[in-house]
Amino acid sequence: MAKMLIADDNKQIVSILEEYAKKEGYTPIIAFDGHQALEAFELEQPDIVLLDVMMPKVDGFDVCKEIRETSNVPIIMITAKGEDFEKIMGLDIGADDYIVKPFSPKEVMARVRAIMRRLGENHNQHILEFDNLKINLDSYMAAINGEDLSLTKKELELLWTLAANRNKVFSRDNLLDSIWGYDYYGDNRTVDSHIKRLRAKIDKYNHDKWQIKTIWGVGYKFEVN
C-alpha cells in the first residue's frame, strides 16, 4: 500500500488528514515536527508528502530542501499564511503544490490525486531523445553528449515538457499549470527563475540544433534549428 507522510504540528489537522489519507488508500505516516518528518521520510520512504511550513525544530522549507537532495517524491506544502513570497519559495525549492489553511481535506486529497495522476502520465513516456539531448523520466536524469546534467526535479520537467513539444510555444501560465498543477495559487515568476537556471546549466554544452527560446510577451518554446 502506498504511504503518505503527513507532517504538521497541529494534531487536529493531522488527525483529519490521516483519516482522509486512509480513505484514499494510503498508509499515513505521522510527524509533528521537522526532525520527525526527516526521520520518518528516511525510514518509511513515502510515496507523497504533505508538509506544513511552520513546524518546530526544522521548518517545512528546510525539510523540503533536504528531501530534494535525495528524492523527487511529490511534496505538497501547507501553511497558515498566503503571502506570494512563501508560495514562490515553496515552488523554487521543489514543492509540487501549495495549499493554504484553512482548507478542505477533500481539496487536499484532490490535489494528491492530481499530482499522482500527472506523475503516472509522465512516466508512461519514459525516454525522450533529440540530437545530443537525452531525458529519462524513469530515473529523472538528463544528459547532453552523454554527460549528466545536474537538474532539479522541476528543471527536468520543464525541459521534458518543452522538448516533447518541439516548436510549440508555452505561456508561463501554461507551464505553471501543467508542471506545478496550479490553478489559483501559482505565480508565473517562478517559471522564469527555473528557465534561467535551466539555461545556465544546458548552455555549458554545445547544442546548436536546438535551444530554449523566449517568445517575448508570450512564453517559451523548444526551438529546433
pLDDT at 22: 92
Query: Chain-centre distance of CA 164, in angstroms?
Result: 18
pLDDT at 89: 65
Residue-range domains of the chain with CATH: 3-121 (3.40.50.2300), 126-224 (1.10.10.10)
| Cell numbers given for 3 | 504511504
pLDDT at 18: 95
pTM score: 0.60
Going through the chain in order, the beta strands assigned E by DSSP cover 3-7, 27-31, 48-52, 75-79, 97-100, 127-130, 133-136, 141-144, 147-149, 170-171, 210-215, 219-224
pLDDT at 176: 82
Distance CA 115, CA 103 (A): 17
Mind spelling out the 3-state secondary structure of 112-163? HHHHHHHHHHHHCCCEEEECCEEEECCCCEEEECCEEECCCHHHHHHHHHHH
**Sign of the four-CA dihedral 149, 154, 158, 160:** positive
pLDDT at 184: 40
| Cell numbers given for 223 | 526551438
pLDDT at 121: 57
Is 26 within 8 Å of 2 (Cβ atoms)?
Answer: yes
Work out the burial of residue 207: count CB atoms within 10 Å of its CB; fewer than 13 is exposed, 13-18 middle, 19 or more buried: middle
Which distant-in-sequence residues (6+ apart) come within 8 Å of 50 by Cβ? 4, 5, 6, 7, 8, 17, 76, 78, 108, 112
| Cell numbers given for 59 | 521548518
CA nearest neighbour of 81 among 52, 109, 110? 52
* Greatest extent of the chain over all pairs of C-alpha atoms, in Å: 56
Q: Which residues of the chain have pLDDT under 50?
A: 184
pLDDT at 187: 65
pLDDT at 218: 87
